[in-house]
Amino acid sequence: MMIRMSYTPKPIDTSKVRISDDLLKLIELLGRNIHDVWARSRLREGWKFGSQRNEAAKEHPCLVPYEELPELEKQYDRDTALQAIKVILAIGYCIQSPDSSVSPSAEDVKADVRMTLDVLRSPESVRLKQLREIWDGRSGRGWTADSEVYRRLAAHALRVGEAFLAYDIAAEGIRRFVEDVKLLQIQALALARSGSTHRAQQLLEELRRIGHHDEETLGILARTHKDFGLLSSDPQERAARWRLSQELYAEAFERSQGYYAGINAASMALLLGKNDIAHRTAQRVRGIIEDKIRTLPAQDEERYWLEATLGECAVILGDRAQARLRYCAANGMGQRRLADLSSTRRQARLLLQSLGGSANALDDCFAIPSMIVFQASFLDGKVGGSTWISSPSTAGSEERLRARLKELNPGMGFASLATESDFVFVEWMLEHGKETHFVLPVPVSQLADLLGQHVPGVDWKTRLNHCLERADSIVYASDQVASDPLAALDYGYLLIKGLATLKAEMLGADVLQLSILKEGKGEGEQENHMVASKQNAGELWSAPRPRAARASSVEGVEVGEFKQEVRAILFADIVGYSSLGEPSIPLYIRHFLSAIAGLLASSPNAPIIKNTWEDALYFVFETTRDAGLLALKIRDLISGTKWEEKGLPASLNIRIALHVGPVFPCFDPIISQASFTGRHVNRTARIEPITEEGQIFASQEFAAIASAEGISEFTCHYVGQKALPKGFGSFPIYLVR
């Protein structure tokens, strides 16, 4: 009898292969072909379609066209195609796209522009999911040849509170239509709404310098000064900023006679205590609007701003009843304009407070939906060799959760699809047409397997596919199978909270954390409790404490025993090092590196792991806060030192990259010291080369988690989607200040 030897699969290592954007486009085509080849083979063998797989009857549910496959099955085919491409590249072959391509005809371009504009002319009916689909599907589309489509897409993204998306749309439009002032204005407004006030102001000042003194340019520039005043804790600086703001709004009003500039000029005058000017200007604005509103069609989208502005006029003029009437009318027109509603409410609060009353006296006029961050997970031991979690979802608990959601009636929801309760939450949100965002803690295929192992008897593939197809946005916490799913889940929850906080800060929305807690009632008895806690944006959750590092030794540790921890990572490159001559190297070590070493020794934010080689620094931190603060201190040390006095080039500088992610603590047997390693270390290293000299760039994950933790000592400002080197892909990048 033949004895079967133990089998250990050894696929070709493709972990270092990066796929270019051109090759990524092939994956869908190859995935479709893989399915067609498989289906043809099955049909030749006598198989036919059946709703359930039946070996005896030769029936299979996937014998359908590729377009009709569940999203999860499509993903399996895409993964096969992706691995095939990676293997080809890993063994040294090249794949080159054809030089020639078929361009759409002029008529096709015009037709596509007309069709897309027709959709965008009814912005109230365009959901965020549809907006993203238009944007993500732009490759090869004719509408990309028309600047008006870019303007409308970006404006709609701003209207629904997606300032980051609006920035990206405007940025690409500007690359295509370099002198399009409207796109530049939209980009500046997106920056201002996302908190990048300094960058917005720089852009607008440049527009003004080259001769643009229109209402939009001067008005948004005035808004940046108002925002700086609101951020200042110095009364004198605040007053100076607000005076500049009022003067710019007033200039714009006199030039344009536009009600937008006029009402803001009146409001800033009121904030500065110039009540007579505020009243006269508000009365002028009211007259302009009353003339305009009489001839405007009832369904015109501008009516929202006309009603909102009349409400603001009434507040300034002390007519609270009229203000309520007008704000309620605007609210009825703005249910899909969350950012506009938020802006109107924020201004009303500011004015009411300056008048000495309750800032929230008119809040009930604005139906701005709350945002729920849902969390339900409990440590549950080993399942199929992996640690996973559970939140038992009995019929009773599901009904209680649905009833609670009906009572809370959220407008937006963030969750991680990891437990039965997560699915109940997401499915309820989708069924009721709510804006839904979720994070997948592990890749789709691994998540389906883990859920199936833990809760058998449920068609997880179908449920997962249903959610994937209908969500407004999906963030993948990892693009690779997680060896430590529990760490991936911790990371996913941090991202959910962070992404929700970033969105809430832009909208001024209330954030509600809905949690399901498990309490022991006695031996063998447990009960689930739902707890809802209201949080304000910027005052949310602290990150869970990471598990203790296991960095003593790697000898005898099985691969599966390595446990990941969520840590903050810093990579830095010394600009100018490569030009140093040999005589300068000792000076570099004595002065430059020693200065950083002294900073580390005295800083309360020092890293738990540090390493360096020539012109590179690599640090790992226990917290996001420590990483951000030390990065700022290093940047200021380098920029504030006169290196020429120490015999080094005055041009020495630094680029710093920050990221947060799950990494493996280990004991490096080569250098005989503790370290951290993993794909997220590599990700941080890829951000550093694109960082501007003398600046700190961070990943979206870093920005989100910093926001969720309520860190006030530094801020993260969006700079757009950036392509990382070595085919690592494009990611949202932030500037840390």
Tallying the residues shown for the chain, one arrives at 737
As a whole-number percent, the residues of the chain with pLDDT over 90 amount to 34
- Each residue of 480-499: pLDDT tens digit? 777 777 788 888 888 888 88
CA distances from 603 to 122, 392, 460, 616, 627 (A): 55, 46, 49, 20, 11
Q: How far apart are CA 687 and CA 375, in angstroms?
A: 31
What is the structure's pLDDT at 727?
Answer: 64
Confidence tier at 504 by pLDDT (50, 70, 90): confident
Which residues 6+ apart lie within 8 Å of 479 measured at CB? 443
Distance of CA 52 to the CA centre of its chain: 39
HEC assignment per residue over 541-559: CCCCCCCCCCCCCCCCCCH
As a whole-number percent, the residues of the chain with pLDDT over 70 amount to 86
Where in the sequence of the chain do the CATH 1.10.490.160 domains occur? 21-90
Decide: residue 465, CB within 10 A, 0-12 exposed, 13-18 middle, 19+ buried: buried
Q: What is the average pLDDT across 579-587?
A: 89
Q: How far apart are CA 606 and CA 622, in angstroms?
A: 9
- Each residue of 258-285: pLDDT tens digit? 999 999 999 999 999 999 999 999 999 9
Residue of higher predicted confidence among 471 and 519: 471
Highest mean pLDDT among 145-159, 540-554, 557-571: 145-159
- Each residue of 454-475: pLDDT tens digit? 778 888 888 888 888 888 888 8
What is the structure's pLDDT at 132?
Answer: 86
Confidence tier at 726 by pLDDT (50, 70, 90): low
Residue 686 has pLDDT above 60, yes or no: yes
Write the DSSP symbol of residue 6: P
Q: List the end-to-end C-alpha distance of the chain, in Å, as a whole number.
A: 71
Residue 40 has pLDDT above 80, yes or no: yes
Where in the sequence of the chain do the CATH 3.30.70.1230 domains occur? 561-736
Q: What architecture (CATH level 2) is domain 561-736?
A: 2-Layer Sandwich (3.30)
Residue 21 has pLDDT above 60, yes or no: no
Q: How far apart are CA 733 and CA 701, in angstroms?
A: 9
Q: Please tell me the number of Cα atoms within 13 Å of 524 on its side-chain side.
A: 0
Which residues 6+ apart lie within 8 Å of 630 measured at CB? 570, 599, 600, 603, 605, 606, 607, 619, 621
- Both structure tokens of 47: 């198989």
Confidence tier at 17 by pLDDT (50, 70, 90): low
The single residue listed with the structure tokens 């006095």 is 645
Confidence tier at 395 by pLDDT (50, 70, 90): low
| The CATH fold of domain 21-90 | Globin-like (1.10.490)
